[in-house]
Structure 1
Amino acid sequence: MYSDYDHPSEDVFKKISALAQTEQIGHPIDPQEVIINDVDIQGGSAIGENFTSVLKRFTIHSTVKDANQAYVHKVVGKFLPLNASTTKWWKSMRVFDREALMYNQILINYENESKTSFAPRLYHSSDSCILLEDLSSSGYVLNDARKGLNLPQMQAILLKLGSFHAYGHHLIQSMGFERFHSKFGVISDVAHHGPALTKDPKVTLEFRAIFKGMVKLSLKLLESEYDAQVYQDLCEIMAKVEEDYGAVRKPLDHHFQVIGHGDLWNNNVLFQTDQTDPLVIADVKFIDFQNSMRTRPTMDLVHLFYQSTTPDLRKDHLNALLKLYHSELLLNLEMRGISPRVYPEEQFHQDFKNCFIHGLYMGFVNIQAIFNAEEVINKVVLEKENDPIGPSLTLKAKEVMLQRLTGLVKEAQEFEVIRFK
């Protein structure tokens, strides 16, 4: 009925339907008693799927043998990218193994302990796909990455992130490093595998070439904003940042460590608004845990701030938002019997400054994915070198990109990462 690679098997859909029906009616349903009547499929053709996962929505229509009740269940499927090189990179990273481990063993324990739902439910995983609860059915939506996250959205994210990081730190400490590493090695040591999170040197080179290409597009856009010498300095500095940005993810011995999300930015956060006031964030859930790793908490913060917020928001609210996160982290640590002195504010701010180069580099990378995905796929991933730079960008998009990129450069100067000659 379905091919194993493109779509899950009918047995998988039976299992999902049985689990969902069990939750609805309160007593167990045997998957073999489920009859799959139809599966509607949507998605799987968005720009960018050469580089990122292929997303599909499945609406499962089913019944149970000897019962008249019909059931409809919706799930989201994540599949390997369409591009062969990117798929090889994903497999070498063990992205679905890591994500399934997060859902099945770490997130579920976090949610059972805190009585708070942190992420969608995982229904099925294999080496080529993951099937998750479709949160859109409950009113969860993505923010438009081109607009950037606003203040209430950031506040909601940071409160939940502080709680999650506290749990991750407690888990590492309570298990001890050796036991944690033995059980969760795919999370524990991945930050040591370089920027591509893999030990395969060929895949690492291919990965870095893609990111370099995206940074090159951002630098090209900035060429007219600076005089020739400053622009040359900027290109040289970004080349140096490219060599160093991955290293700051490594957890330091005897340093405060957490389980980080690893790819926390606008498109991996879902928001549910209050039914009576759409400006109020009722809940936040995180998705896409394939890059989760043992690291310092400020890695998630710089990844989030410098890819998903505007320079104006950071100028007005960065310090207050960092204070909100740090306070929530310490509060949740205390709830688990851990002294807040384990991560003093001075060390936290120093970590944020030390991790800034990761946010800077990823900001230059991901702005192309946000505003210029078609060109990234054609020119960088598919290597159509003769395509002209920027033909698909509108004047408004270029203006917004320039504002964000020049804002990043200015903040890099304030952090003394960039010093022009």
Structure 2
Amino acid sequence: MSSKFEVDEKLCETEFTIGWLLDSLNQNDEKFKKNYSNRKISNVSARDISGGKGMFSIVLKCGLLFEDSKDENDIYTTILKIPGTYVFDELNEKGSVDAPKAEFMDIPGMHTTEVNFYNIFKTKMPKILPTVHFAQLWIPGKHLGCLHMEDLSKRGAGLNFYDCLNHAQIKSIIRGMAYFHKELLCCDEKIWKGKFPIKIEFFDNLEGFVDGFYKTFKGYLKTDHKIDEFNSFLNDPKLGKLIRNTEFVKYVATKSHLDSGIPTALVHGDLWNNNIIFKCDSNGAISNDVEAFLDWQVVQEGNLVCDFARLLTCSCEGDIRREAETYIFEYFVDCLNAELAQGGKPPVPYTAKQLRENYEAVFIIHLMHPIFMMPLFFATKTSTPEEKTIDEARIDRCILRALHTCQDAKKYADSGKFDKWLN
């Protein structure tokens, strides 16, 4: 059987070639070297499986067919994650939103952050991290960056933005977060301290961010009544000012936890449905157990409560979120202290009550997440005629999710606790 590929053939029109992929597999993938390197390859395929989900990258699933393959399923698959502004570029082409370019978002810098994170932690947190075979920095003008990773789809799957977590999944995520923070507390902090500074410049021009994405979001609202309802929240004398107040947002993300007695920690920064892989059961259905946390490109030293707010506002309907808020902080502290006790370490110096109190301010600054995420997802999603009405129902559900977030954010803003930031 003759080979059906050329080693200089590009993978999905990127600068990475089949030859590059084969070299990386033979040099860096221990499983491939042990079980597949002696089999002759007859064909190599690659397809983009991002589907508009990856905002700062595309994800290529590459498959190797062998000359002695028993059938089309007897293949070896591997993943190549390549950073870029592909989703934002598509949105700009469609005129859907005046999306930022790579220079503003510093996508190369975000990729460097993720590469550094995996280089430090990939062997220290195997329970929640995928296997990364090779990480290449993005050097503009020289070469693209990439992460060459294991294919987790063999044993897990993720949810979409419009999906809602159930309570068993939420608790599994919290156990994963507790394990992550236990490992941080048990390792020598010199390996990570000072290496993942929060990108404070992302909080500049908040007014333009809020107004720009809210304008796009309003395009999905079907009635004047619904527009008026959201206007009342986004332009509220207190809430509207707080979400546009750069100094308030910077304070909440970088200092408020310290005033609440919560030490600075590493924060995932983008923990929601799309960046969590759940194990699949024997029937291929998504289970309640976390397989891995992905996409660490904005990991930062800051307020760990931000991960709770990001998760709940972007991955849960209002009823599930509100119910989770009644137990999630106690459950996290209990799980973390249990993990620490197993390692002979003392409990954390903060309580669930302290996390819950800080959560109110953090929740306010996460108000815009379900609002700006929805257009980013649906504007790049291609629907078949059969899916059109299904997606319309999904959009309605996401709008309700955002509405419930606004309601609770206004409640916190009206409490008077943050009035000093209104002047």
Same fold judged by TM-score > 0.5?
yes
Q: Give the TM-score of the pair, scaled to structure 1.
A: 0.74
Q: Could you tell me which residue of structure 2 aligns to residue 95 of structure 1?
A: 110
2:314 maps to 1:313: no
Q: Residues 6 and 192 of structure 1: is their aligned pair in 2 closer, same or farther, counting only changes over 3 Å?
A: closer
Q: Residues 94 and 235 of structure 1: is their aligned pair in 2 closer, same or farther, counting only changes over 3 Å?
A: farther
Deviations 1:179-228, CA, capped at 9 Å, x for gaps: 744xx52x1x2x152326xxxxxxx65x9745642223335638624479
1:412 to 409, 418, 422: 409
Contact kept? 1:59, 1:74, Cα under 8 Å: yes
- For 2:124, what is the secondary structure of its paired residue? helix
Q: Give the TM-score of the pair, scaled to structure 2.
A: 0.74
Q: Could you tell me which residue of structure 1 aligns to residue 151 of structure 2?
A: 134
The range that moved more, 348-357 or 227-236, is: 227-236
Contact kept? 1:56, 1:77, Cα under 8 Å: yes
Deviations 1:155-181, CA, capped at 9 Å, x for gaps: 11111111112222444xx435xx744
Unpaired segments ≥5 residues, structure 2:
1-7, 68-73, 90-99, 139-143, 383-387, 417-423
Q: Residues 395 and 239 of structure 1: is their aligned pair in 2 closer, same or farther, counting only changes over 3 Å?
A: farther
What are the within-5 Å matches in structure 2 for residues 309-348 of structure 1? 309-348=316-355
Deviations 1:337-383, CA, capped at 9 Å, x for gaps: 442251222222222223112321222222333444469xxxxxxxx
Deviations 1:55-100, CA, capped at 9 Å, x for gaps: 222224579xxxxxx9734223333123575322354661111111
What are the within-5 Å matches in structure 2 for residues 2-401 of structure 1? 2=9, 6-10=14-18, 12-19=20-27, 22-23=30-31, 26=34, 38-43=43-48, 46-47=51-52, 51-61=55-65, 72-82=76-86, 86-91=101-106, 94-111=109-126, 116-127=127-138, 128=144, 129-138=146-155, 140-171=156-187, 174-175=188-189, 180-181=192-193, 185=195, 187=196, 189=197, 191=198, 193-195=200-202, 209=208, 212-218=211-217, 221=221, 224-225=225-226, 226=228, 230=232, 233-234=235-236, 237-238=239-240, 240-242=242-244, 243=246, 244-250=248-254, 255-275=262-282, 278=285, 280-373=287-380, 395-401=392-398
Deviations 1:133-175, CA, capped at 9 Å, x for gaps: 111123x11113212212222111111111112222444xx43
CA distance in 1, matches of 2:161, 2:234: 30
- For 2:175, what is the secondary structure of its paired residue? helix
Q: Residues 193 and 100 of structure 1: is their aligned pair in 2 closer, same or farther, counting only changes over 3 Å?
A: same
Deviations 1:226-268, CA, capped at 9 Å, x for gaps: 4799467438733530334354222566741221111101110
- Amino acid aligned to 2:150: E
Length, aligned pairs only:
374
CA distance in 2, matches of 1:275, 1:358: 40
The range that moved more, 5-14 or 260-269, is: 5-14
CA shift for structure 1 position 302: 0.5
CA distance in 1, matches of 2:370, 2:413: 17
- Amino acid aligned to 2:311: L
Q: Residues 398 and 104 of structure 1: is their aligned pair in 2 closer, same or farther, counting only changes over 3 Å?
A: closer
CA distance in 2, matches of 1:103, 1:9: 23
Contact kept? 2:157, 2:286, Cα under 8 Å: no
CA distance in 2, matches of 1:228, 1:8: 45
CA shift for structure 1 position 293: 0.7
CA distance in 1, matches of 2:81, 2:317: 31
The range that moved more, 123-132 or 230-239, is: 230-239
CA shift for structure 1 position 418: 7.8
CA distance in 2, matches of 1:71, 1:277: 18
- For 2:366, what is the secondary structure of its paired residue? helix
Q: Residues 349 and 150 of structure 1: is their aligned pair in 2 closer, same or farther, counting only changes over 3 Å?
A: same
Contact kept? 2:239, 2:413, Cα under 8 Å: no
- Amino acid aligned to 1:124: A
CA distance in 1, matches of 2:281, 2:153: 14
Unpaired segments ≥5 residues, structure 1:
64-69, 197-203, 376-390
Using the aligned pairs only, state the percent identity: 14
Contact kept? 2:18, 2:44, Cα under 8 Å: no
Deviations 1:296-348, CA, capped at 9 Å, x for gaps: 21111101101111101023332123322221122223334442251222222
- Amino acid aligned to 1:407: H
Whose helix fraction is larger, Structure 1's or Structure 2's?
1
CA distance in 2, matches of 1:87, 1:213: 18
Contact kept? 1:263, 1:289, Cα under 8 Å: yes
CA distance in 1, matches of 2:35, 2:61: 27
CA distance in 1, matches of 2:395, 2:136: 39
- Amino acid aligned to 1:151: H
Q: Residues 236 and 213 of structure 1: is their aligned pair in 2 closer, same or farther, counting only changes over 3 Å?
A: farther
- For 1:147, what is the secondary structure of its paired residue? coil
Contact kept? 1:142, 1:271, Cα under 8 Å: yes
